[in-house]
Amino acid sequence: MADLRCVIAGIESINPFWLASAPPTDKQYNVERAFAAGWGGVVWKTLGVDPPVVNVSSRYGVHKDTGRGILGINNIELISDRPLDVNLREIEQVRKNWPDRIIIGSMMAPVEEELWKELAIKIAGSGVHGIELNLGCPHGMCERGMGSAIGQVPELVENTTRWVREVVDIPVFTKLTPNTTDILLPAEAALKGGAHAVALINTVNSIIGVDLDVMAPTPVVDGKGTHGGYCGSAVKPIALHMVAEIARAVETRDLDISAIGGITTWRDAAEFIALGANALQVCTAVMLYGFKIIEDLNEGLSDFMDAKGYKSIEDFRGLATKNTVNWNDLNMNYDLKAVIDKDKCIECGLCHIVCEDTSHQAITIKPTETGREFTVVDADCVGCNLCAHVCPVPDCITMEPVDNGLPYQTWPEISPISGEVRGE
Which of the residues are catalytic? 137
As measured in angstroms, the least distance from the Cβ of 67 to another protein is 3
By CB under 8 A, which span of 177-185, 265-273, 348-356, 381-389 interacts with another protein? 348-356
Residues with Cβ < 8 Å from 351, sequence gap 6 or more?
A: 338, 340, 363, 374, 387, 388, 390, 391, 397
Q: Is 349 in the site for another protein (CB under 8 A)?
A: yes
As measured in angstroms, the least distance from the Cβ of 65 to another protein is 8
**Do residues 211 and 234 touch, judged by C-beta distance below 8 A?**
no
Report, in angstroms and rounded to the nearest whole number, the Rg of the chain calculated over CA atoms: 24
DSSP state of 142: G
Q: Which of 1, 51, 54, 68 binds another protein (CB under 8 A)?
A: 68
# residues contacting another protein (CB under 8 A): 16
Q: Which of 59, 16, 13 is nearest to 279 (CA)?
A: 16
Q: Is 346 in the site for another protein (CB under 8 A)?
A: yes
Q: Is 353 in the site for another protein (CB under 8 A)?
A: yes
By CB under 8 A, which span of 142-150, 247-255, 323-331, 342-350 interacts with another protein? 342-350
By CB under 8 A, which span of 87-95, 320-328, 350-358, 375-383 interacts with another protein? 350-358
By CB under 8 A, which span of 141-149, 327-335, 346-354, 408-416 interacts with another protein? 346-354
Residues with Cβ < 8 Å from 98, sequence gap 6 or more?
A: 32, 35
Q: Which of 57, 219, 228 is nearest to 137 (CA)?
A: 228
Q: Which of 51, 99, 309, 392 binds another protein (CB under 8 A)?
A: 392
Q: Is 185 in the site for another protein (CB under 8 A)?
A: no
Please, where are the H alpha helices in 194-235? none
Q: Which of 174, 19, 164, 173 is nearest to 102 (CA)?
A: 19
DSSP state of 140: S
As measured in angstroms, the least distance from the Cβ of 371 to another protein is 7
Q: Is 377 in the site for another protein (CB under 8 A)?
A: no
Q: Which of 86, 174, 87 is nearest to 131 (CA)?
A: 174
**Do residues 31 and 20 touch, judged by C-beta distance below 8 A?**
no
Q: Is 194 in the site for another protein (CB under 8 A)?
A: no
CA distances from 378 to 211, 336, 353, 396, 397 (A): 47, 9, 17, 17, 14
Q: Is 67 in the site for another protein (CB under 8 A)?
A: yes
Q: What is the amino acid identity at position 346?
A: I
Q: Which of 214, 330, 393, 421 binds another protein (CB under 8 A)?
A: 393
Q: Is 368 in the site for another protein (CB under 8 A)?
A: no
Q: Is 215 in the site for another protein (CB under 8 A)?
A: no
* Closer of 312 and 375 to another protein (Cβ): 375
Q: Which of 420, 346, 334 is nearest to 390 (CA)?
A: 346
Residues with Cβ < 8 Å from 8, sequence gap 6 or more?
A: 197, 256, 257, 258, 278, 279
Q: Which of 1, 65, 368, 405 binds another protein (CB under 8 A)?
A: 65
Q: Is 210 in the site for another protein (CB under 8 A)?
A: no
Q: Is 115 in the site for another protein (CB under 8 A)?
A: no
Q: Which of 66, 326, 404, 418 binds another protein (CB under 8 A)?
A: 66
Q: Is 350 in the site for another protein (CB under 8 A)?
A: yes
As measured in angstroms, the least distance from the Cβ of 385 to another protein is 18
Binding site for another protein (CB under 8 A): 65-68, 344, 346-350, 352-353, 365, 371, 392-393
